[in-house]
Amino acid sequence: MDFKIAEYKLPDTITFNFEELKTGLTERTAAYKTMVYSENDIKGAKADRAELNRLKKEINDKRIACERVYMVPFESFKKQCNEIIGIIDEAVKNVDEQVKAFENKAKEEKETKIRELFTEINTIDWLSCDQIMDKKWLNASTSMGSVRDEMEIAIGAIKTDFESLQGLEYSLEATVVFKATLSLAAAIAENKRMVDLARVRAEMEPKVETPAEPVEEPKDESPKDWVNFSAHVSETDFDYLVEWMDAHNIEWRVL
């Protein structure tokens, strides 16, 4: 079934005194571009404007009338074409829905096989199939053998990157980011962020000086004897004196 257009004759070219009008108006309007009207010339200026607007309207009205006549056969042709296209679109829609339903079913079945394959070869307990799923794996043109090869490469690379994070200072925080993004660069950046944060905190914490241990005075091992003396003191002075002697283990008595 082909689209065939019967031979047809295009409408004749519409002609008018184009060159005459163009030459005449070009010469006439050239003067208007630089003309300065005086108060006495306003009446003439209005007449000139009216004449030009009349000619403009006449040309435009004739153009519109000719356009309508010229478009009559084309509009009929256009309407018929659109009617045929509508019939085709309706048929295509029905076929397209069935084709898409078949393709979606095939993709669902293949996705099930891909998830089963992931369960079979995955060796990372926290990794999910959705994290490494590639949409192109669902295409009919991608074989399951290719899917297996790409999946094994992906899992191997993830395992290597994950193990490389274990020696970092903040490996726990880094691996949390890696598990969420599978990005080694993002995990290393998180480790650096934690290192920088710890350094800033350390610089902001007040420095506490370790108190010096008290120095024990050497014990006086020389022999002791009673010494009689008198002191001219107040009651408060006496209390201080007694406190000092008690602190130094000096025996004393009141005579």
Task: Average pLDDT across each block of 10 residues of the chain; the chain has 255 residues. List them in order.
Answer: 82 86 86 78 85 91 90 89 91 91 94 96 94 94 95 96 93 94 95 93 77 65 70 72 75 70
* pLDDT at res. 100: 93
Q: What is the pTM of this model?
A: 0.52
CA distances from 245 to 219, 233, 242, 253 (A): 14, 15, 5, 11
* pLDDT at res. 2: 83
Query: How far is 54 from 20, CA to CA, in rounded Å?
Result: 17
Query: How far is 117 from 149, CA to CA, in rounded Å?
Result: 11
* pLDDT at res. 163: 94
Query: How far is 241 from 235, CA to CA, in rounded Å?
Result: 10
